[in-house]
Amino acid sequence: MALNPRAAGELFIPETIVVGQNTYTVVAISDKAFKGCKNLTSVVLPKTLKQAYRSAFEGTGIWLDKTNWSEGCLWMDSILIATDKNIKPRFVVPENTRFIAAGAFKGNKSIQRVDLPSTLARIDHETFRDCKNLQKIVIPPSVTSIGEEAFTGSGIYLNENKWKKGALIIDDCLIATNNDLPAKYVFKNKTPIRLIAERAFANRKTLKSVEIPQTVSAIPTAAFIGCESLTDVIIPSSVHKVDNFAFYNCAKLRNAKLPADLLSLGAGAFYGCELLSEQVLSENLEVIPRAAFFLCRNIKKITLPSHLKRIDDGAFAGCASLETIDLPATLTYIGEQAFAGCAMIRRVTLPVGINSLSKQVFQGCNRLYRIDLPEGIYAIGDEALSGCVALEIINIPKSTFRIGVRAFHNCQQLQNIALPDYIQRIEEGAFMECKMLDEIALPASLKRLSRAAFAQCIGLHKVHLNEALEVIEDGAFCQCRSLKEVEWNTALQSIGADAFLDCKYLRTPQFTADVEIGKNAFKGCK
């Protein structure tokens, strides 16, 4: 949550915020949200809050008022926001602490030991960064996640004796690794590793394989990001969560079989894993998140959960080897670019719950020859099927009222298409360069045909204008070189510039009523 930097006086932050028809729960206050608000004297924080940043309150009236500090700590509603040099060398965080703000101890030179409460669930980003004299910390079993660089530059981090075979482990938690890490890493510890910190293996260029122990329940955010030599990861059945960008740009990763009981898969989890060849997704998953398998060029088969509800933006974009995709009947949403560039897919049948084709959803699927749309589709989004050069068969449902910008651009094999009467918008370049399209009848509800809608459809020979059409915009049928016949109507009021430019077999019409005709509208016609 980020608020106006001019906030002043007393501020109450509610648990929920209503925007339009949506209600949002306030769970975080973002970096620098109130920084420098010298006139802000107090804030009431919601019980729903789970994360805040030290920097959010730096330089505020709350921060500058020393009466708000106690024994070197700034507290707000049982949240430890920040510390200063007055803190005791050994500090015991009270049990009633809701959470500790990200960076709360950052750069503190006074602190030497910290005991965390048994109720703490997370050590956040940079919490103890650059605490150069920190030598001891007790991490309770309640902690289930550790943010990136939580201990970077601290006395613990800088102590070489704390590192074993390239890994820094504190209280059975893998905090970080360095370049001494073996290429084939096996977790060997007196007691089992129970959690891995965010970015723990980030950019370990020589790491080739990892076997994650059965005691770990989650692979955290960006855990293996940029491990460019990583080929094999054994993920145990104990792992129930693979978080955002966990294997981002692990370009050589071939084997990383997800557990059958996986509960959560993060955005961009396998982004850029070009050699990954197959995945069977857990039946527990209801959402395939944004860019989860983006640019997994070698993946040939994906088994989707039978109860899947959403496929988010770019989830499988660039999966150039993906041959088949069976969409479950429960699916209700497919995001923008979800399958863009899936060059090997030949046929798609959308389930009845889908009500629109999102922007660029199948763009560049150049072997897709057939797509079956359910009744209920109300719009075909911008560039939804652009570049599907093999597309021959598509049914546009009667429920459709909009065909988006360049929706069918360069669908070179599309020969016949029936446009339902309820279509009200055919947007710019919708059927541009559909070279095999031979005849078109405009829908009864269409009053305006957008610019370049059928431009360069070089095989088009006949057009039926509907009785309601009033405007043909610029270049609508430009360079339709085979066009011989247009069934004109009496409602037509305007024909834009270059509308029928270079339609060399078309005779220039003689209108009985006044029709505004743009420059070069019929240039090159008979």
Q: Which residues contact 245 (CB under 8 A, 6 or more apart)?
A: 221, 222, 225, 266, 267, 268, 269, 271
The 10s digit of each residue's pLDDT in 183-210 is 999 887 777 899 999 999 999 999 999 9
Euclidean distance between CA atoms 264 and 243, whole angstroms:
7
Estimate to the nearest angstrom the gap between the alpha carbon of 62 and the chain centroid.
37
Query: Could you report the per-residue pLDDT of 265-315, keeping only the tens digit for each?
Result: 999 999 999 999 889 999 999 999 999 999 999 999 899 999 999 999 999
- Tell me the average pLDDT of the chain: 94
The residue ranking higher by pLDDT, 190 or 235, is 235
Please, what are the domains in the chain? 9-146 (no CATH), 277-419 (3.80.10.10), 438-526 (3.80.10.10)
pLDDT of 455 reads 97
pLDDT computed for residue 186 by the predictor = 87
At residue 56, the 3 state secondary structure works out as helix
Q: Which of 419, 418, 417, 455 is nearest to 437 (CA)?
A: 417
Burial class from Cβ neighbours inside 10 Å (0-12, 13-18, 19+) for residue 28 reads: middle
Q: Beta strand pairing status for 393-394 and 370-372?
A: parallel
pLDDT of res. 511: 81
Query: What pLDDT is stored for residue 3 in this prediction?
Result: 52
Of 72, 33, 39, 24, give the one whose Cα is nearest residue 52: 33
Identify the pLDDT of residue 51: 94
Q: Residue 186: helix, strand or coil by DSSP?
A: strand
Beta bridge partners of 204: none
Contacts by residues 439-447 (CB-CB < 8 Å, ≥ 24 positions apart): 439/463, 439/464, 440/464, 441/466, 442/466, 442/469, 443/419, 444/468, 445/401, 445/421, 447/471
| Residue 2 pLDDT > 70 | no
CB distance 331 to 354 below 8 Å? yes
Residue range 40-50: average pLDDT? 92
* Cβ neighbours of residue 489 closer than 8 Å, sequence gap 6 or more: 465, 466, 467, 468, 469
Residues 6+ apart with CB under 8 A from 456: 432, 433, 435, 478, 479, 480
The length of the chain, given as a count of residues: 526
Residue 390 identity (one-letter amino acid):
A
The mean pLDDT value for 66-70 works out to 92
CB contact at 8 A, 406 and 384: no
Span 423-451, pLDDT tens digits: 999 999 999 999 999 999 999 999 999 99
Residues linked to residue 471 through DSSP beta bridges, in sequence order: 448, 494
pTM of the model: 0.91
Mean pLDDT of 336-355: 97
- At residue 208, the pLDDT reads 97
Q: How far apart are the C-alpha atoms of 151 and 366, rounded to whole Å? A: 49
Separation between Cα atoms, residue 417 and residue 397, nearest integer Å: 11
H-helix or E-strand spanning residue 156: helix 155-158
Per-residue pLDDT, 190: 73
Res 5: pLDDT: 58
Residue pointed to by tokens 């122990």: 213
Q: Specify the DSSP element, H or E, that contains 157.
A: helix 155-158
High-pLDDT (> 70) share of the chain, %: 99
From 20-34, 198-212, 221-235, the region with the lowest mean pLDDT = 20-34
Residue 1 has pLDDT above 80, yes or no: no
What pLDDT sits at residue 21? 84
Copy the structure tokens of residue 286: 């209801």
Q: What's the pLDDT at 237?
A: 96
Q: Name the pLDDT band for 6 (thresholds 50, 70, 90).
A: low
pLDDT tens, residue by residue, 210-224: 999 999 999 999 999
> What is the percent of the chain where pLDDT is above 90?
90
Kindly state the average pLDDT of the residues 163-191.
91
Give CB contacts under 8 A, 24+ apart, made by 19-28. Answer: 26/1, 27/51, 28/1, 28/52
Q: Which residues are paired to 42 by β-bridges?
A: 10
Tokens of 465: 């204008």
- Give one word for 202, left, alpha or beta, with left for phi > 0 and alpha for psi -120 to 50: beta
